[in-house]
Amino acid sequence: MGLRKRRKDARKDGSLSALAPVAGNGLIDRRALLGRGIVFAGAATTGASASLIGAAAEPLANGPWSLGPGVPVPPYGQPSKFEQKVVRTLSNPKLEPRGSAARTPHHLLNGTITPNGLHFVIARGGETEVDPDKHRLVIHGLVKQPMVYTLDALHRYPMVSRISFLECGGNSAPLYSKEPIQGNVQALHGLCSCAEWTGVLLSTLLEEVGVDPKARWFIAEGADLPTMNRSIPLAKAMDDAMIALYQNGEGLNPSNGYPMRLLLPGYEGNMNVKWLRRIKLVEQPVMAINETKQYTILRPDGKAWQFYFPQEVKSFITHPSPGLSMKGPGVYEISGISFSGNGRIAKVEVSADGGKSWARAALQAPVLSKAFTRFRMPWNWDGGPVVLQSRATDEAGNVQPTREAFIAERGPPRGTPNVAAFTMEHCNAITSWGVNASGEVNHVYA
């Protein structure tokens, strides 16, 4: 039966539609997810999936944890000791004199909020320990009255909360290499995370200091080793820039800028200056190292793009992904993360045949602007080799490019570097996972 015919049949007959594919290699209509077991009922009657009705379960017994008290509840809860493998990978664990990267283990998480201890980090001088009582934020330059703010003072302003992703400009750079680098989703895409941030809008403070009409940019600078600095258009300050004080309800994690950081929703991670201590309003960009040498994108003609701010529309599949092997043919949920620095995710499509056919995935509500949106796609794997891909489109109509289209624009990669090398920034090409007949998942180019 042809795909089109099967899709038509699936629409006509709800009960039979359950496992009827809507795209190649067994992708099932996303609405099956809403049917509360319709997939499983269908599978049971058709016998389509061995994984659904396994061997009989063992008799049930009480575990020791049911036969006595536990341990005292700790003042600050830690993850279960059985979750010890759910950690970041570190590029510089001994703090040698260079930057440090910590990558989020997306394959071991679900939902859309990254726990604070697993949020990705790039730090030039290690984790900076700032005494909140001694920390100051100064706003000066092209203003009517330069002002200094203590943390206590900032707590007296009206606060706002928003859920926002952050992504390093160098995230997903391994996709820009000649051969597919064998790494898991943490290695390839671990430099993005999503949290609820709470703080004071920068525009609130700028109203107080009074903006000189000549100001067009502001310089944001941290209190860390290199006093990391970036130039940011003033328009972003007036739009949605925030002095964030809380991360997922608690004070910022030290690695993420405690006691305060700049949050520029949707903009390149490096611009979201951590341990923020100074904002200077200026007419022109300051041409800092991180906006000239770093975070500029060299084109094939030898020219480089500068001030490439929004992180563009992206998605990747976290389940399954390298390291998460398939356990035999049957029904699975493909799921992953999508986001766009230009607004909300409009749709995510999934392909199980390397991009020949696509089906729309279900988007987990709420779908928020400039935040992680999880997508889910039911899939009946027949046990054969397949290539899984996801393709996101944002509300502005931007579509995640194929790797081929991305390479056509940026020029061909000339080598296959180390997985941690940032050979290309703002890389949002489609990721392909190859699933082989034994259920193993690998990074492939398709």
Partner 1 sequence: MSMRETLALAAALAVGLSLANAADAPRFGQPIAPGDLAPWDISIAPDGVGLPPGSGTPTQGATVYAERGCALCHGEKGAGGPSGPLVGGGPLDRTDRDPVKLIGNYWPYATTIFDFTRRAMPWASPKTLTDNEVYALTAYILALNKIIGENDVMNADTLPKVKMPNRDGFISKYPEKH
Please state the separation of Cα 172 from the chain's center in Å. Answer: 10
Mark the segment that binds partner 1 (CB under 8 A) among 101-109, 374-382, 386-394, 412-420.
412-420
Helix (H, G, I), strand (E, B), or coil: what is residue 254? helix
- Options 129, 131, 133, 301; binder of partner 1; rule CB under 8 A: 301
Position 333, amino acid: E
- The one-letter amino acid at 286: V
Helix, coil or strand: residue 122: strand
Question: Using the rule CB under 8 A, is 210 a contact of partner 1?
Answer: no
Could you say whether residue 344 binds partner 1 (CB under 8 A)? no
- By CB under 8 A, residue 407 contacts partner 1: no
Least Å from the CB of residue 341 to partner 1 = 13
Closest distance to partner 1 from the beta carbon of 244 (Å): 18
The reply on whether position 96 binds partner 1 by CB under 8 A is: yes
Kindly tell me which of 176 and 372 has the beta carbon lying closer to partner 1: 176
Which residue from 62, 80, 84, 284 is in contact with partner 1, where contact means CB under 8 A?
A: 284
**Among residues 89, 91, 203, 227, which is the contact residue for partner 1, using CB under 8 A?**
227
- Shortest gap between Cβ of 68 and partner 1 (angstroms)? 52
Site string for partner 1, 127-166 (x = CB under 8 A): -----------xxx----xxxxxx--xx-xxx--------
Q: CA-CA distance, 246 to 259, in Å (whole number)?
A: 8
Least Å distance, CB 332 to partner 1, is 38
Contact residues for 271 (Cβ-Cβ < 8 A; gap 6+) = 220, 230, 232, 262, 264, 309
Residue 418 binds partner 1 (CB under 8 A): no
- Other C-beta atoms closer than 10 Å to the C-beta of 213 total 6
C-alpha 185/C-alpha 443 separation (Å) is 9
Q: How far is the CB of 159 from partner 1 (least distance, A)?
A: 11
Q: How far apart are CA 118 and CA 259, in angstroms?
A: 18
Report yes or no: 283 and 217 within 8 Å, Cβ to Cβ: yes
Contact between 307 and partner 1 by CB under 8 A: the answer reads yes
Residue 217 interacts with partner 1 (CB under 8 A): yes or no? yes
Which residues, at least 6 apart from 186, have a Cβ–Cβ distance to it below 8 Å?
A: 89, 103, 104, 105, 106, 107
278 lines the binding site for partner 1 (CB under 8 A): yes
Q: Are strands 147-149 and 345-351 parallel, antiparallel or unpaired?
A: unpaired
CB of 232 to partner 1, least distance (A): 10
Which residue of 19, 48, 205, 260 would you call a contact of partner 1, by CB under 8 A?
205
Preceding omega of 366 cis (within 30 degrees of 0): yes
Instruction: Say whether residue 296 binds partner 1 (CB under 8 A).
Output: yes
- CB-nearer residue toward partner 1: 194 or 209: 209
Three-class DSSP labels, 31-65: HHHHHCCHHHHHHHHHCCCCCCCCCCCCCCCCCHH
**What is the spatial distance between Cα 345 and Cα 369, in angstroms, rounded to a whole number?**
7
Q: Which two tokens stand for residue 40?
A: 């499983």
- The sheet carrying 359-360 orders its strands as 359-360, 345-351, 386-394, 432-435, 441-444
Distance of CA 17 to the CA centre of its chain: 33
- Should residue 356 be labelled a site residue for partner 1 when binding is judged by CB under 8 A? no
Query: Counting contacts by CB under 8 A, is residue 199 touching partner 1?
Result: no
Closer to partner 1 by Cβ: residue 99 or 354: 99
* Binding site residues, partner 1, CB under 8 A: 96-98, 124-125, 138-140, 145-150, 153-154, 156-158, 204-205, 207-209, 216-217, 219, 221, 225-227, 229, 233, 235, 277-278, 280, 282, 284-289, 292-293, 296, 298, 300-309, 411-415, 417, 423
